[in-house]
Structure 1
Amino acid sequence: MTLTNPLDMFDVRGKVALITGASGAFGMVAARVLAGAGCRLVLVAGNASALSDIAQECRAGGGEVTLVNARPETEEICESLMQQALAAYGALDILVVASGMNKVARIDEMAPETFAAVMDANVTQSWLLARAATKQMKAQGTGGKIVLVSSARGLLGHPNGYTAYCASKAATDGIVKALGCELGPTGITVNAIAPTVFRSPLTAWMFEDTDAAKAVRDGFLARVPKGRLGEPEDLAGPLLFLASKASDFYTGHILYADGGYTAG
């Protein structure tokens, strides 16, 4: 095999990417990366104002963007999202599921409804989106890339009220592995990016220069071989890899963006 330009393997110019949770921390990273790499985007989120902001940013850089103000809460909505991508650009090549939620409470203090809500947002909705995308990609007959967002907590427990979140991300990992096996012959790859703590509005307090933040941060960093917390750009490379031809032989994988946290 001869590669005159190995970077061609990462070329996603002109591909159509649908990103749910596009107004969230990882969703915005995905939008910036794929827009910058030349994808045509369908950005989906429930927060209309934040969705508009990230779309404006992508367009300012020359990106082609279609907006859908919705949450993938039902089969009908998920099917509609695929149809909107088809109507806008004629195809769907990449699905990035960055939508989801977390509710923290110890098990004896967590309402069953809360547990169910986390499982629905992180598991059922991911499954529905993957199902809808699979149908569309199979109909096109050209393969495709499905990227879910997992977490180091899908592999590891947590002592402070994470039963719903850990269970949901372990289930996400199961979907990825099962679909990797099921869809292997179709040319559709299914993988997940699993970060540990990285900078976002929800974790900004951990980066602050306070005694409380430092205590929590130092305890966490003792487990991270790289010796620092994650930055949004740490997710950019893995996403481009999983969205491009470079990962054609990779499916059913959980790619840990964690500075070595899960290694030891």
Structure 2
Amino acid sequence: MSKFDNKVVVITGGTSGIGLGTAKAFASKGAAVYITGRRQEALDAAVRAIGGNVTGVRGDMSSLADLDRLYDIVQQSHAQIDVLFVNAGGGELAPLGAITEEHYQSTFDTNVKGVLFTVQKALPVLRDGASIILTSSTTGTAGTANFSVYSASKAAVRNFARSWILDLKDRGIRVNVVSPGLTETAGLNDLFGGGEQAEGVKDFMIGTIPSGRIGRPEDIANAVLFLASEDSSFVNGIELFVDGGMNQI
């Protein structure tokens, strides 16, 4: 019997990359998985790719109405949520001097407002003793040229966990952070310019990673499953870097 049999797992931003890889991992271990995404076509494709007991819910996690609808759908079939993986996020490059109000607002709405209200609105549905995992980034603790707004938003996510473990201690709900390094996803390729340009940047960046490779979505998924399981029952409030050592040197 798997440790996630009959567990209810909600994953925001589950249609590609890290979210999709993690949803596949939970579903393969017997969990009932709910994923979110903004585009119905991508959501439908992800549900087919994941297989098992998975439900796709279209929505923007920075929209409070969409969050209400997500948790209403979960409660139609389940009384509680065991694991909440708050993974929806994103950002674009913009150097200081070229940052617009729209760029700032979009980044913080998705990466900060969305994370805050995804967790807050889940509280009535989360079981006591549940596990919350937030996706931050190695950029939250390192300076990154042209990426300051995204980096600041991810630093905020990391600090949410420090405070929320105090707010939730009476319910025994753990809150931990996973911070991926460079990970092989469509989002990373787009950020690096796509095609041959992206491959060239990644080849260069590999030289800065002690493990000698770019991460894979399943590397992050393994870390999330650990933080979601009873194997990490005394792990609370940490930031777990899954970066091949890149930010540790």
| TM-score (ref. length: structure 1) | 0.87
**Cα shift at 1:112:** 1.4
Q: Which residue of 2 aligns with 1:98?
A: 87
Matching residue within 244, 247, 254 for 2:229: 244
User: 1:225, 1:261 within 8 Å by CA — same for their partners in 2?
Assistant: yes
Return the alpha-carbon distance in structure 2 between the equivalents of residues 17 and 146 of structure 1.
10
1:195 to 180, 185, 189: 180
Shift of 1:148: 1.1
Say if 1:184 and 1:251, in contact at 8 Å, map to a contact too: no
1:150 matched to 2:136: yes
Deviation at 1:77, TM superposition (A): 2.5
In the other structure, the counterpart of 1:4 is: none
Q: In 2, Cα distance between the equivalents of 1:48 and 1:147? A: 25
Mapped partners of 1:209, 1:127: distance in 2: 35
- Find the counterpart in structure 1 of residue 68 from structure 2: 79
User: Structure 1 stretches of 5 or more lacking a match?
Assistant: 1-7
Gap regions ≥5 residues in structure 2: none
Matched, 1:43 2:11: no
Counterparts of 1:80 and 1:115, CA distance in 2: 26
Aligned equivalent of 2:5: 13
Q: Deviations over 1:148-202 (max 9, x none)?
A: 111000111111x101100100000011111123223311111111111111113
Equivalent residue runs for 1:166-245 within 5 Å: 166-204=151-189, 216-245=201-230
* 8 Å contact from structure 2 (residues 189, 195) kept in 1: no
Distance between the aligned counterparts of 2:175 and 2:111, measured in 1? Answer: 16
State the alpha-carbon separation in 2 of the partners of residues 219 and 42 from structure 1: 37
Report the CA distance between 1:86 and its aligned residue: 1.4
Instruction: Give the SS at the match of 1:109.
Output: coil
Superposition RMSD on alpha carbons, in Å? 2.0
**Structure 2: distance between partners of 1:45 and 1:213:** 25
The alignment partner of 2:167 has SS state of: helix
Query: Counterpart amino acid of 2:110?
Result: A
- The 3-state SS of whatever aligns with 1:132 is helix
How much does 1:248 deviate?
A: 1.4
Q: When the two structures are aligned, how many residues end up with a matched partner?
A: 247
Residue 235 of structure 1 aligns to a residue whose secondary structure is: helix
Q: CA deviation at 1:247?
A: 1.5
Structure 1 contact 82–92 (Cα < 8 Å) conserved: no
- By how many angstroms is 1:213 displaced? 5.1
User: Could you tell me the TM-score, scaled by structure 2's length?
Assistant: 0.91
Residue aligned with 1:238, SS:
helix
SS of equivalent residue, structure 1 residue 17: strand
Distance in structure 2 (CA, Å) of the matches to 1:101 and 1:126 = 12
Considering only CA atoms, is the larger Rg found in Structure 1 or Structure 2? Answer: 1
2:120 counterpart residue number = 131
2:18 touches 2:221 (CA, 8 Å); kept in 1? no
Runs (4+) off by over 4 Å: 212-215
The amino acid across from 2:239 in the alignment is I
More displaced stretch, 78-87 vs 250-259:
78-87
CA contact (8 A) 2:168 2:174 kept: yes
Q: Deviations over 1:117-140 (max 9, x none)?
A: 101100111000111122322xx4
Distance 1:108 1:201, change over 3 A: same
